[in-house]
Structure 1
């Protein structure tokens, strides 16, 4: 083996050695860069978690601090709303009671007027039909055998018949089911507006012609 290598072999050996060292250096640099990036990412996540924890802690403390104040405010609002609702209920009840009282007094006066009219008719015997010559109590018994549509029609005949029809006795129990194909929202509203203080029973079975306005009117005038 010769004591010295040729120049080109020596150059190749040196280049190979440099290449190995450079490759090792770059590998270590990449590994260090990855480790540094992982550490930075981990640190960033930890910092974000800490910030979130601090924010949640502050929010919990704020809620605890204002819990009593919020509860007191809600209780005060409930009292105000309850007082307003109670005031509206009392006012509505007062109006209904006042209207009912006035309606009953009106019908009472009509009945008294009917009795006076009967007396005048019995004295003169002119200008009235035979039914009007009967006492009002007997006329009322006769009208009780008629249907709802007949009552409304009879009320248009004369003053005497109208006074009998407007008696509260006839309107205590209204059976609309027998007139289900004839009754309308307008008629139902008219009946309830005029006679709702006396209505204790209302039969609407099979009345498919009645719509939402009738239901609203029934709910408004129901006791």
Structure 2
């Protein structure tokens, strides 16, 4: 694992609404989107995870039927184009093992605790970390990101809409908890728009609870 970007990762995973809202005040999207042009696929994969965890704060703090609060900001700086390019460029991407970093995890816990103490917050009970649990690919993460950002609004490009939705539908019964849960949430976001919903349901598909 490349440790150069570990400090930011420590603040975004595991996801915390409190920490994420604090990070959003620092305008993190431009540098993170820039990382999606990196030559190292591991860095791209983690950058996508960082962005997903950040936009989850907007997804979870606003009504499901409303457009995503960070869409305009990300679109204005060219982020939507960059994200779709990543999805299109990884159409043959295979699910790969989530990197194992026991030493990094130890560092992460210490950094997060110091950060939370500084802002007078208390970390929730620590979850047991299983490095083998996460196996989603770049394509998986990009599809989840697009699904969240296009909440309650149409993906106007027909090919892109079909590609993203079909991929998300293929993940809803995945054996891995994170991608199974997040793909369902992403589809529910997209389904708030009637055009997207028609695409989702065109083969009799129903989004699982």
TM-score normalised per structure 2? 0.29
| Structure (1 or 2) with the greater helix fraction | 1
Higher relative contact order by CA 8 Å / sep ≥ 6: 1 or 2? 2
Please identify the structure whose Cα radius of gyration is greater.
1
